[in-house]
Amino acid sequence: MKSGRFWAWVVFIVGAAYFFIPLLATVEFSLRMRRGVHSFDAYQIVLGDPRFQATFLYSVIAAVFTIILGVLVVVPTAYWIRLRLPQLRPIVEFITLLPLVIPAIVIVFGYIRMYGSNSPLPFLGSNMGANALLVIGYATLALPYMYRAVDTGLRTIDVRTLTEAAQILGAGWGTIIGRVILPNVLIAVLSGAFLTFAIVIGEFTMASLLNRPAFGPYLQNIGANRAYEPAALAVIAFAITWGCMSLIQILSRFAPKSANRPN
Amino acid sequence: MTDLSLSNPTMAAKPAPPNAATAFRLPTQWIGVAPFFIFALMFLILPTLYLVVGAFQGREGQFTLDNILQLVSDPSISNSYWVSIKISFWSAIIGAFAGLAIAIAIVRGGLPGWTRSATLTFSGVASNFAGLPLAFAFIATLGRVGIVTTLLRDVLNINIYAMGFNFLTTSGLIAVYLFFQIPLMVVIIVPAIDGLKKEWGEAAATLGATQWQYWRMVVIPVIWPSFLGTVILLFANAFGAIATAYAFAGPALNIVPIKLYSQINGDVLHNPQLGYAIAFGMIVITGLANVFYIWFRTRSERWLK
């Protein structure tokens, strides 16, 4: 047991070194722009760059629309599968796992060929159409995470009783989903939303191939042309990912643990 | 007489109305899931099928196997597949074992409690920290003027670039990919190790098993399926990754996703149908991997309930 603990420490420390050295080195590197002293010059240049602001804003908006679309597609489906069509569950779960099987680049390649400007559904014929297609693509990428989060949330509430209670009070389907089910799984939905945000914000492949002015292609451009700014951007990106994950952890503390909890 | 009445057509018709009612209700049931299926069909399944069909068509739309055969016969394409498979395979294997070691260390190693929560939190972040920023972080660390590169050169007089280190080699990319592969393994495998019941260890000890026998006959068989399943997930994860490698070398690096990226952007292979075939090959490889994943997953869930 003594030697077991020794090896456990060895593994832990070696692992910590592998993960922390690049992060610390990146922080250090990002502070070195001005010769001889540590400074926040790289951050100032990046944050002050109008292209940074424009592309970052674009990606934030894309992420928000992705989350809205994801919720609209996933919540009613997951609810309905639980309530009425449990026999469809394996099929729906299989479909939600497909984006893990089909690489993003293949999906977007399909979009480009299927929804080009000469196709019956010319998404790529206009700017707004291409923006919509990017949001749709992102929603597809986020589908596995969103569905799992919402389904886990639904598992902790008594869907049938809530639905029947709402129906007795005269609620229609829109009211049931929007004002009864959604608030009850809000924490799960928000977890899925923050994960979606973390995935979407710096996404490169889809944004670049659809020619969108998003944060990912901007990152690529800076990475190819600058020395210190990419390190600053990496630190910012890590902080964003960290922020999203922390929010998910904080939210999970408020989530109900089971449907039968005594209140 | 009762038999007769049952076979009586008017009586047999009796149960029909409820049937008709369910048949009538069925469409309304389906309306609830229709948006999802339409979405999945339009933006996931049909675009993929479009490429799969295209992979088997010539320029005039006739059926052909030429595109698929060219994946093998064109050395630059088959080589890119080979490099991608190598990188994905080794980063999955090494990532899986390293992740498993870390998971065992924090769950069973008798370390203080904070190591577990700190590792899990960090793994959640790092498994999602991929793409371009990850490449930037490694360039700042081990690039030609990176912090660690210059430290090694100035302090220990070791020039890693003179020793042949390069991000654009297979081993260089594997080392970088491990940064998201190991945490992903930790995130998935820790619950599996948690699922090992204490009673099993006690039962094994009561039966006189040594520590080694307990591991060989209880622990490994139980976590084996979810371990192997996660290896496959890691493989697919690395196989589709493009942004990190693209940040290192742009289109110069010869791995499948970058090859496809250049083909989509500018038809560098001078044959649009070949792009479909490359996409089809990628789906086949990750698809095969995931068929195994689902299979192993269902097997492991039997034990870990």
What DSSP line would sit under A214-256, residue for residue?
A: -HHHHHHHHHHH-SSHHHHHHHHHHHHHHHHHHHHHHHHHHS-
Residue A184 · residue A162 · CB < 8 Å? yes
pLDDT in tens, B8-36: 444 444 444 444 444 455 567 777 788 89
Report the DSSP beta bridge partners of residue B258.
Answer: none
CA distances from A128 to A59, A73, A120, A139 (A): 14, 20, 16, 16
Quick one: what percent of chain B has pLDDT higher than 90? 15
Domains, chain B, in order of start with CATH, read 76-304 (1.10.3720.10)
**Chain B partners of A226 at a C-beta cutoff of 8 Å?**
none
Q: Rounded to a whole number, what is the distance in Å from the CA of A237 to chain B's nearest CA?
A: 6
Residues B230, A197, A209: CA angle, nearest 5 degrees: 85
Partners of A98 on chain B (C-beta within 8 Å) are 40, 44-45
Q: How many CB atoms lie within 10 A of CB B199?
A: 9
Q: For chain A, what's the residue count?
A: 263
Percent of chain A with pLDDT over 90: 20
Q: CA–CA separation, A87 vs B40, rounded Å?
A: 18
Residues of chain B contacting A234 with CB distance shorter than 8 Å: 133-134, 136-137, 140
Report d(CA B268, CA B261) in Å as an integer: 10
* Residue of B36, B125, B132 with shortest CB distance to A77: B36
The amino acid that residue B293 corresponds to is: Y
Distance separating alpha carbons of residues A96 and A75, to the nearest angstrom: 13
Q: What is the pLDDT of residue B271?
A: 77
On whether any CB of chain A is under 8 Å from the CB of B54, the answer is: yes
Range with the largest mean pLDDT of A46-60, B100-114, B130-144: A46-60
User: Quick one: how far is CA A137 from the chain centroid?
Assistant: 12
Residue B295 has pLDDT above 80, yes or no: no
What is the per-residue pLDDT across A143-190, written as a single tens digit (0 to 9) for each? 998 998 898 888 888 888 888 899 899 888 888 888 888 888 888 888
User: In the prediction, which pLDDT does B11 show?
Assistant: 44
A159 touches chain B (CB under 8 A): no
Q: How confident is the model at residue B304 (pLDDT cuts 50, 70, 90)?
A: low
Distances from the Cα of B118 to the Cαs of A96, B39, B130, in angstroms?
30, 39, 20
What pLDDT does residue A206 have? 92
Alpha helices, H only, B143-255: 147-155, 170-194, 198-206, 211-214, 220-240, 243-249
Residue A70 clears pLDDT 90, i.e. is over it: yes
Mean pLDDT of chain A: 86
* Residue range B258-278: mean pLDDT, rounded: 83
Using a CB–CB cutoff of 8 Å, tell me whether A76 touches chain B. yes
Q: Which residues of B touch A99 (CB under 8 A)?
A: 44
What pLDDT digit, counting tens, does each position of B94-117 carry?
Answer: 999 999 999 988 888 778 878 888
Specify the 3-state DSSP secondary structure of B63: strand
B266 C-beta neighbours (distance < 10 Å), count: 10
| Mutation target among B44, B142, B294 for the A interface, most CBs of A within 10 A | B44
Give me the interface pTM, i.e. the ipTM: 0.86
How deeply is B209 buried, as exposed, middle or buried, from its count of CB atoms within 10 A (0-12, 13-18, 19+)? middle
* Cβ contacts of A67 within 8 Å, gap of 6 or more: A142, A192, A193, A196, A197
What is the set of domains in chain A, with CATH numbers? 51-254 (1.10.3720.10)
User: Is pLDDT of B39 > 90?
Assistant: yes
Are A83 and A159 a contacting pair, CB within 8 Å?
yes
Label residue B26 exposed, middle or buried (CB < 10 Å: 0-12, 13-18, 19+).
exposed
Q: Which residues of A touch B43 (CB under 8 A)?
A: 107, 111, 136-137, 139-140
Contact A217/B at CB under 8 A: no
- The mean per-residue pLDDT over the stretch B80-104 comes to 92
Q: Which of B40, B122, B140 sits opposite A29 (nearest CB)?
A: B140
Q: At A256, is the pLDDT very low, low, confident or very high (cuts 50, 70, 90)? A: low
